[in-house]
Amino acid sequence: MAPSETFSNLLRAAAPVLALAPMQDVTTLQFMRVLHRYGGPDVYWTEYFRVHGDSRPEKWILDSITKNPTGRPVVAQLIGNDIPALVRNAKLLQQFPVAAIDLNLGCPAPIVYRKCAGGGLLREPEKIDAILGALRAAVTIPFTVKTRLGFASPAEFAALLKIFAKHPIDLLTVHARTVAQMYRPGVRYDLIAHAAKEMHCPVLLNGNVFSAAQAQQLLAETGARGLMIGRGAIRNPWLFAQIRAQLRGETVKLPAGRDLLNYIHELWDNEITPGVRESAQVQRMKKFTNFIGEGIGAQFLHDIRRVSVTADFWRVCEQFLAHDEPLALAPINSPNPAGQP
C-alpha cells in the first residue's frame, strides 16, 4: 500500500491519529529511529523543506522519507512564500514515498516569520489563499496544513479558518497558540474545538500535550481527530504508547529514572557524529536535554546547560536519573505535574 493510502486510511479509522510534530534540527531521521523503539506515533512529519527561488529538497531531510525504518507514513512539510517554487518542490517531493504534502504556517522563529514564511504568512491571508489554491492544484496525494491561531491575536483565527475551509485540504493541524506567543502558557484548546466543528476535514490538536490522561481529556473536549506532539514526545518517548494504553482503559506505565537515562544514551548513540569535536557533541545533545529536563526539574536543567564535556554531561545525567523511581515526565511548569487532568 502506498504511504498516501496508509495515511488516508489513518484519517478514516476510528482510533485517534497520533503524530510527531516537526521540530527543525530535532525531529530528524535519527530521532525517528529512536522514538519508534518506544512505540512511536502513527505518522511522522519531516522537518520543513526550505523553499525559495531554485531550491530543491534538502537531502538530509529526504533521508527521513527514503531511509525511514519505522514502516509508518511520513508527511513532507514545506515552508516558504514563493508560489512557483512551492509548486515545483511539491511536485518533486511527490516522486518520493511521501504520505502527504504539508504547508507550514506556524513556525514562530523570528528568522522565519520576518521573511514572511511559516507563521509570518498569517499576517497575509490573501497570500495564504493563493498558496493553498496553487498547492492543492499541484498535489495529487493528501494535502495538509499546519497553522497557529494567528500572528498576534487568537481573534485572527476565525478569518483564517474561512480561508482553510475554502480549499479542499485533507487535514488541518492547529497549534493553539499565536506566533507572538511562541511556547508560553495560554493554549486555546477551545479554538481547536471550534475548528473541529467548522472544518470539512479532520483537525489535529497541537500544543502542550504532556500526559496520557490529559491527552484523553483533550480529545474528548475538543472533538479533534487526533494529536500532534513535539516537545512532549522528546521529553517522554513513551508518551504515544501511554496514550494508546489510556484510550484502551489499561494501566499507564511510567518509566523509572534509569529508563530515561537509557533513552538519553540511545539518543547519544544515534545523534552523535563520529569525528565531531567533543564540545559540539555535547551541544547537540543539549537540544534534547533542554526538553527532557523540563520533566526532571529546574536543578537538572541548570546543571546540564552548563556542561561542556562528555564526562560532565553523563555525570549530571547519572546524578539525577540513576534511580528506580517512576517519572511522570510532565513539564515542571505544568499546572498538574503529576500528569493528571
Integer distance in angstroms from the first to the last C-alpha of the chain?
38
Tell me the C-alpha distance between 229 and 122, whole Å.
22
Tell me the C-alpha distance between 258 and 228, whole Å.
27
Tell me the C-alpha distance between 107 and 119, whole Å.
5
Query: What nine digits make up the cell of 235?
Result: 521529553
3-state secondary structure of 252: coil
β-pair partners for 205: 174, 227
DSSP for residue 185: S
Q: Is the pLDDT of residue 341 over 80?
A: no
* Domain coordinates in residue numbering, the chain: 3-247, 257-321
CA distances from 180 to 95, 109, 112, 209 (A): 36, 9, 13, 20
- Whole-number average pLDDT of the chain: 95
Tell me the C-alpha distance between 327 and 162, whole Å.
42
Is the distance from CB of 259 to CB of 200 less than 8 angstroms? no
Looking at 3.20.20.70, 3.30.70.100, 3.40.640.10, 3.40.190.100, the CATH number of the domain 3-247 comes to 3.20.20.70
**Mean pLDDT along residues 4-23:** 97
More confident residue, 65 or 334: 65
pLDDT at 273: 82
Write the DSSP assignment of 7-52 as a string of letters: HHHHHHSSSPEEEEPP-TTTS-HHHHHHHHTTT--SEEEEEEEE--
Q: Which residues contact 217 (CB under 8 A, 6 or more apart)?
A: 341
The model carries a pTM of 0.95
User: Which residue numbers are catalytic?
Assistant: 107
Query: What nine digits make up the cell of 253?
Result: 506505565
Query: What nine digits make up the cell of 195?
Result: 475548528
Instruction: Count Cβ atoms within 10 A of the Cβ of residue 188 and give its class: 0-12 exposed, 13-18 middle, 19 or more buried.
Output: middle
Q: Is the pLDDT of residue 340 over 50?
A: no
Residues 273-325 pLDDT 10s: 888 899 999 999 999 999 999 999 999 999 999 999 999 999 999 999 999 99
The proportion of the chain whose per-residue pLDDT surpasses 90, expressed as a percent, equals 94
pLDDT at 272: 82
Which residue, among 241, 168, 226, 218, has the nearest Cα to 11 in the 3D structure? 226
Residues 60-75 pLDDT 10s: 999 999 999 999 999 9
**Mean pLDDT along residues 155-161:** 98
pLDDT at 317: 98
Q: Which residues of 279-309 are buried (b: 16+ CB within 10 A; e: fewer)?
A: eebbebbbebbbbbbbbbeeebbebbeebee
Handedness of CA 216, 330, 206, 234 (dihedral sign): negative
Give the residue carrying C-alpha cell 485572527: 156
Q: Is the pLDDT of residue 229 over 90?
A: yes
Residues 76-125 pLDDT 10s: 999 999 999 999 999 999 999 999 999 999 999 999 999 989 999 999 99
Least confident of 33-42, 156-165, 189-198, 330-339: 330-339
